[in-house]
Structure 1
Amino acid sequence: MIANHRGEIPFVVLIIPFLLGISVGLNFTHATDVTPLTILFHSLSFIFIALNLTYKRFNIYKYRWLGGSLMVGILLLFGCISVINYNELNRSTHFSKTTAQYAIVKISNEPVLKNGLFRFKADVKESVSNGKQTPVTGNLLITIKDTSAKNLYYGDELLIPANYKPVDPPFNPAEFNYKQYLAYQNIHYQSFLYPHQYAVIAYNTENAVVAYSLRLKQRLIQKFKAGMTDTSAVAVASAIILGYKADMSSNVLQAYSATGTVYVLTVSGAQVAVIYLMLSWALGFLWQYKYGRLIRAVIIISILCYYALLTGFSPAVCRAVLMVSLIVIGKTYSRYINSLNLLAVSAFLLLFYDPYFITEVGFQLSYIAISGLIIFRPIVYSWLKFKNKWADKLWGLCSLSIAAQVVTFPLSAFYFHQFPVYFLVSNLFVFIPVTIIMYTGFIYLLLPQIPGISNALAYLLDKTILIMNKVLTFMEHLPFASINKIWLSTTEYLLLYAIIISLFYYLYYKKSWLLQACLGCLLLLSISISIKKIYAQQSNSIAFLNLHKHIGLVIKNGTKAVVISDLSDTDKNYRYSIQPYLDSSGISTISVYNLKQDIQSAFVLKKGNLIQFMNKRLVLFNKDLSDAPLNKKLKTDYIYLTNNPYAAINSINKNYVCQLLVIDATNSDHFISSVIKQADTLQIKYSLLKRNKSLITVSNE
């Protein structure tokens, strides 16, 4: 289990209020004045130090809770202050707070080409206005549509126009929050550039060590491409060994995700463990020498740090390297090591460096998975006993997979909304090929090009990955391969963890109150899910979605929905913006129609541009709608204005009486401003979707 007493795991105890403080601070990241919190932090720290110096005089040792309470308060405030101060928008020198014509930026990560666009993160160094340069700070996401951008590298300095814009928030329900995702990387603005809108003014001005590592990574990826024949195999090898996922296809990624093995595509503790085991075996002879232990520790830690550098200092690798290094140091000096305490130390150090690490899904998953293996895996392993050595080893692997999958299930369901049913089989299967891939890949990259040997290693790597991909793709398409459309609220997510923790502890300690707590949380979770299902079955709505250049209407009747859009259900924009809303709303039956199709379903009737849904009437007003006057004005609830129809307001005013005019994002800015001006004059109520959240009208009639 965790430990015999709390003295073995001091950092586990101390990191809890620190994590809580960071979590609280994330909700107040735009607080510009942290002076009151800072004063309180220093006051509590002073009191804590003073009490520890005078505890004998005042007989304070009687009040054990006093020191602990002060420490909790200090760490909570420290976490809160650190995350607020880390937000670059709270700095007076941020580039968004100065007016400029141009900006000098430095590329701070590796430019990636995807869908014909080069995208990279840049540090804004100076703003330029009327020839005057002012030092500024801040990160900027730059996207360039220009083939010559392939010559840009980490460390290059560019002169760009200062026409950056804030990142858009999600406009549709359940849509991926890209704005928040970038904000947690301290990126709040973006710039889109075309040819001749930027100029390189300096080359290779950034950290030489990081630049070397990124260029070396590219050379190693090119070595994979030169020796291996299949592009998907190259992408998987680059992801598993080097952490480079830009070439990964969505189909391959989906196969790994649906089978619960997507973690193998992320450079993390598994790769560090393989390197550590390889080095431990190779350097085992050093134990017999006087300074052999120290030399062994220095070599292992140095190589692990070099591997972290090679992967671009991935947080997962840094975490694993830090933890393994602590274990190596402990073993070198024959210290007792509590793995959970070391895990807490590594988390504390990483979060001290960058408190936003806590928001990364990979960071959360890996820490929870490792904690689960340390705490729960022994419990699972104790359930069955085998006398046969190989059966026992197989059960050991099964217990490993069960503990990791169970403890990460709430987090995976919360973020990815699915659960792989065959996770045990798929995880057992990938164990052998992934081991072969990692060892073969490392040897292939480390060895110089040797005719015959290099070709054989590349062939083995190629075929192993292809076999693994085919088997996982087959498993992905098996009946009931995964449970999808799992949408948990934050409360349900926490209840799930409470159920898992209390159940496992009950199985270990056999305390009745733990079982009662587990059943109580299970009851609350069941009630919450039931309420959501009842609401989904009884609610009816019309959703006018903001799809930028596309049209999207979702008419919902309980768990059934009709989607009217110019997008097919296989389009990536449909999957990104429409499908999440359908899934999160509990819709199980979906019918997709294009704009010109007539509809006659159980709850929707569409004839031409007129739609009837229960007692609601809607008109699709586009260029196809005739401008001929009607015999009398038609009463309608909504008029959906799309694709810049000519003389829209005049025609609407003559032919319709509507409660609300909905102007979608397919209309041009010029057309929208004209329509809004006329609507205000005629006192027509309207709702604008462009650069605004989607409109959802709810009706239970």
Structure 2
Amino acid sequence: MTALRFIPIQLTFCLALGICLARHLELDAFTCLFLLLCSFSWLAIRFHKRDRRWYSYELMVGLTVVLLGIFSTELTREKTAVLPGGYQQWHLRITKVMKSRSYADQYQAEILHMNTHRSRGKLLLNLPPAPPGKSLKIDQEILAMGRIQPIAPPLNPHQFNYQKYMQGLGISYSLRPGRESFKLLPGSGTSLAGVAAQFRNTLIDSLRASGIKGQELAIIQALLLGDRNAIDEDVYEAYKDAGAIHILAVSGLHIGIILWIFNYLLGFLDRSSGGATLKLVLLVFILWSYAIIAGLSPSVTRAVSMFSFVAYALYLNRPSNSFNIMALSMFFILLLFDPNLLFQVGFQLSYAAVLAILWGYPKIARIWQPKNLFLRRAWQLTVVSFTAQLGVFPLSLYYFHQFPGLFFLSNLVIIPFLGIILGSGLVITGWAAAGELPQFLSEFYELMIRTQNQVVQWISSREQFVFREISFDLPMLLFSAVLVILLFSYLERPALKKAVVFCTVFLFLQAYTAVDVYRTRKSEALWVMHRPGQTQVLHRVGQQLTSYSSGNIKVRTTEAFRTGEKIRQWRNDSLGNFYRYGDADLVILEQNSPVYDLPVFPKWVLLTNSPGFHMDRWLEQICPQQVIADGSNYYSSVERWRISCMQRGIPFHYTGKDGAFLLEPEP
């Protein structure tokens, strides 16, 4: 495999291995540094003695890079301090403005002081919703009173794990002060990110003043400035279903187009002495200036890092060494910025797509080489889109459990015009910021974006081509990734042995899938889910699911559960008061239930809608083995019930705190 023979790729693989090992090893930074210095010393001695036999020297180089990955991860881990609980006064600085929710404005904040003592760490700050245009800005400082809470794990099985996602960003705690419990501080400091955010807001205000508004403005913010906070949920879902979601994130595609535009515009410098060096400096400066304006998000940072190496390769007149460029950019991003980026979905998808294009595109594109220019360009775009989707296919199924069948159509229609949209967008944005933008230009550009949105919405409306709820677990991900690698290896140099290995791995994947389906069909489970203000009980028998609920529960609320449990058929039914599960009873009590007419010693009792009865007397009479309270109850009632159950040694489970409850019958 050609890609794996490049030394930078081998070193990057070792670095990634070290970062992964650091998650499972308990080594402090000092121990890692000591081991790293020992390995560097050994390499230096061997290099001086010219003893560089592969079985010792190259293996030690790999081990040294593994240790370097562990060390960089440990340094990053130590930056996040363990914060104390209790009611404290917090001095915070806003570092990132997140998308607002209906119930709160969300920010990432850096801790400056706790009470009167200097402190450090990061928090997720939730503030009461502010009026439009009055939300906090990056670098603003506030003083807040409150008690920090660990970010809660998901309450229902297979639900998105927001706690794990925030921990990947180095944030484990949240703070939610009341409306009167915080105040803005004057004289906030100024950082590079804050200056870039102010400039970005100025550009957005200039575009708004020129007459561009609504979702067209939101898409422009995402395309040019990397700000997706203003995009409506239905528009975002349309781009995702059409397979064009990557357009809304400033990433390698956008940075590559910008590099191509400015490389062409600055081409005249190549004709002068020293002009090529000046052009390189200007290109790198333009790319990183754009990255700062776009907020230095992880996707922007990795894309600009990669294309900075591409610009250097163009300067050396060696643009074909793409694997080294990709590996070096990945190596330095993980080492210098944040090794935890390796575990972020966007990082994995980005590099998987780039590697697939670099590896698979030349082999597939040469299958057909039409002479017609239009057909040739259409074929090339289709192959690029196909290879990129093939590279991210296993990851997309694993993380998102859906696949847009018309991805090639959306990319074939949109990508050819994306360069025009980006190029004209840069001109229009700069013009609007510098002075008054002519109305016909703003209307024309708004029409371009509106047309793009309409095309995407039309493609996404073909529901029969959007494959959803695809069950795909970790072993399937690994098998599929190996199959994609083997396929590219076979296309690179066809051989019978490679075809046999590919078929063998494919048979293993089929065998695992068959065993998994058989195991699922033989199993049964009963869950009490957490739904705020509602009651829902899910009964799964094999690949069939019945949802018993107290009201209208949206189908999408159980989508993650159905996907994770490999459900093929489901139905809704009204909620009753008594169920027989195995050899045990589930009794459901609500406000008007005859609470004192129950059979004695039921195994489970589910309390819903805050039934009004004397809990202590009822427990003495009925003696249930397990009491469950779901999200339809008042919290004050739940706490009283919990105390009563604890006094009598009866297990009590509240879904709003303890998560969904799995009922397990007697064996």
Query: How far apart, CA to CA, are the structure 2 residues paired with 1:313 and 1:217?
Result: 12
1:669 deviation in Å? Answer: 5.0
1:319 and 2:324 correspond = no
CA deviation map 1:471-524 (0-9, x unaligned): 222222325212211232222101101011112211321222221221121112
1:643 maps onto 2:643 in alignment: no
Task: Summarize deviations over 1:209-268 as a string: whole Å, max 9, x none.
Answer: 322210111122223333355512221111111111111111111111112111001011
Q: 1:176 is paired with a residue of what secondary structure?
A: coil
CA–CA separation in structure 2 for the residues paired with 1:173 and 1:567: 21
The answer on 1:181 being equivalent to 2:176 is no
Whole-Å Cα distance in 2 between the matches of residues 110 and 673 of structure 1?
Answer: 35
Moved more, 12-21 or 682-691: 682-691
TM-score (structure 1 length as normaliser): 0.88
Structure 1 match to 2:392:
408
Q: Displacement of 1:668 after TM fit?
A: 4.7
Alignment of 1:592 with 2:551, yes or no, is no
Cα drift, residue 700 of structure 1: 11
Is 2:215 the counterpart of 1:232? yes
Whether 2:75 is the aligned partner of 1:85: answer yes
TM-superposed CA distance for 1:666, in Å, is 4.3
Equivalent position SS for 2:592: coil
Cα pair 2:591 2:611 within 8 Å, conserved: yes
Aligned to 1:264: 247
- Distance of 1:670 and 1:619 partners within structure 2: 22
Q: Note if contact 1:610-1:619 (Cα within 8 Å) is conserved in structure 2.
A: yes
- 1:92-107 alignment runs, 5 A limit: 94=81, 96-97=83-84, 101-107=88-94
Aligned to 2:489: 505
Of the candidates 642, 648, 663, which is equivalent to residue 629 of structure 2? 663
Q: CA deviation at 1:335?
A: 4.9
1:50 aligned partner: 45
Contact kept in structure 2, 1:104 and 1:158, CA below 8 Å: yes
- Tell me the TM-score normalised to structure 2 length: 0.93
Equivalent position amino acid for 1:51 in 2: R
Of the structure 1 ranges 499-508 and 689-698, higher mean CA displacement relative to structure 2 is found in 689-698
Q: Does 1:622 align with 2:590?
A: yes
SS at match of 1:233: helix
Change (3 A) 1:281 1:175: same
| Post-superposition offset of 1:195 | 1.6
Answer whether contact 2:86 2:148 (CA < 8 A) is retained.
Answer: no
2:443 to 455, 459, 477: 459
What secondary structure, in the 3-state scheme, does the structure 1 residue paired with 2:657 have? Answer: coil
Deviation string 1:386-409 (CA, Å, 9 cap, x unpaired) is: 222322222111111111011110
Q: Which runs of 5+ in 2 are unaligned?
A: none
Aligned match for 2:60, one of 67, 70, 84: 70
Which letter does structure 1 place at the counterpart of 2:46? L
Give the counterpart letter for 2:12 in structure 1.
I
- Aligned length in residues: 665
Q: Find 1:17's aligned residue among 1, 14, 19.
A: 14
CA distance in 2, matches of 1:164, 1:450: 44
Correspondence for 1:361: 345
CA-CA distance at 1:37 after TM superposition? 3.8
Report the counterpart of residue 271 of structure 2 in structure 1: 288
The structure-2 alpha-carbon separation of the partners of 1:449 and 1:544, relative to structure 1 and needing over 3 Å to count, comes to: closer
Deviations 1:4-63 (A, max 9, x none): x94xx32111110110111122345xx4735444433332222222222223xxxx44x4
Q: Any idea what SS the aligned residue of 2:100 has?
A: strand
State the 1:419 CA deviation: 1.0
More displaced stretch, 666-675 vs 248-257: 666-675
Deviation at 1:196, TM superposition (A): 1.7
CA drift at 1:558: 2.4
| 3-state SS in 2 of match to 1:114 | coil
In 1, the alpha carbon distance for the partners of 2:29 and 2:275 equals: 50
Shift of 1:621: 1.4
Matches within 5 A, 1:513-552: 513-552=497-536
Counterpart contact for 1:225–1:231, Cα < 8 Å: no
CA–CA distance in structure 1, aligned partners of residues 98 and 544 of structure 2: 44
Residue 553 in 1 paired to residue 537 in 2?
A: yes
Change (3 A) 1:309 1:356: same
- CA-CA distance at 1:584 after TM superposition: 1.2
1:513-558 CA-to-partner distances (Å, cap 9, x unmatched) read 2212211211121122222222333322111123355433111222
1:145 equivalent among 128, 132, 136? 128
Pairing 1:117–2:89 present: no
Correspondence 1:279 to 2:247: no
Output the amino acid matched with 1:456.
F
* Contact map agreement 2:584 2:666 (CA 8 A) in 1: no
CA pair 69-509 structure 1, distance change in 2 beyond 3 A? same
8 Å CA contact retained: 1:119, 1:142 = yes
C-alpha distance 563-422 of structure 1, shift in aligned 2 (>3 A): same
Question: Does the 8 Å CA contact 1:538/1:700 hold for their aligned counterparts?
Answer: no
User: Letter of the aligned partner of 1:180 in structure 2?
Assistant: K
Contact 1:172 1:545 in 2 (8 A): yes
Supply the distance in 2 between the matched residues of 1:654 and 1:313 (Cα, whole angstroms).
62
Contact 2:200-2:225 at 8 Å conserved across structures: yes
**Secondary structure in 2 aligned to 1:193?**
coil
Q: CA separation in 1, counterparts of 2:599 and 2:229? A: 56
> Aligned with 1:661: secondary structure?
strand
> Structure 1 residues 653, 152: closer, same or farther in 2, change over 3 A?
closer
The residue matched to 2:230 in structure 1 has which SS? coil
Deviations 1:590-613 (A, max 9, x none): 3234xxx46xxxxxxx3xx22345
Relative distance call for 1:116 and 1:662 in structure 2 (3 A) is closer
| Aligned-CA RMSD value | 2.7
Aligned pairs (5 A) from 1:364-383: 364-383=348-367
Residue 447 of structure 1 and its aligned partner are, at CA, apart by 1.4
How far residue 412 of structure 1 moved from its aligned partner, in angstroms, is 0.8
Does the 8 Å CA contact 2:90/2:113 hold for their aligned counterparts?
yes
Distance in 1 between residues matched to 2:226 and 2:617, nearest whole Å: 58
Amino acid at match of 1:483: F
Alpha-carbon spacing, 1:312–1:229, altered in 2? closer, same or farther (3 Å) = closer
SS in 2 for 1:447: helix
* Residue aligning to 1:427: 411
CA contact (8 A) 1:410 1:496 kept: yes
Q: Structure 1 residues 32, 135: CA separation in 2 closer, same or farther (over 3 Å shift)?
A: farther
1:682-701 equivalence runs, <5 A: 682-697=648-663
Taking the aligned partners of 1:65 and 1:450, their CA distance within structure 2 comes to 62
Matched residue SS, 1:153: coil
| Structure 2 residue 461 is matched with structure 1 residue 477 | yes
User: Which residue type is aligned with residue 45 of structure 1?
Assistant: F
Q: Provide, for residues 440-485 of structure 1, a one-character-per-residue CA deviation record: whole Å limited to 9, x for no partner.
A: 2111101147999632232222222222222222222325212211
In the alignment, the residues of structure 2 paired with residue 420 and residue 111 of structure 1 have an alpha-carbon distance, to the nearest angstrom, of 27
Q: Look up the match of 1:603.
A: none
2:231 to 232, 236, 248: 248
Counterpart residue identity of residue 565, structure 2: S
Q: Secondary structure at the match of 1:385?
A: coil
Q: CA deviation at 1:312?
A: 0.8
Q: 1:279 to 1:676 in 2, by over 3 A?
A: closer
Secondary structure of 1:106 counterpart: strand
| 2:578 alignment partner in structure 1 | 610
In 2, the alpha carbon distance for the partners of 1:648 and 1:689 equals 22
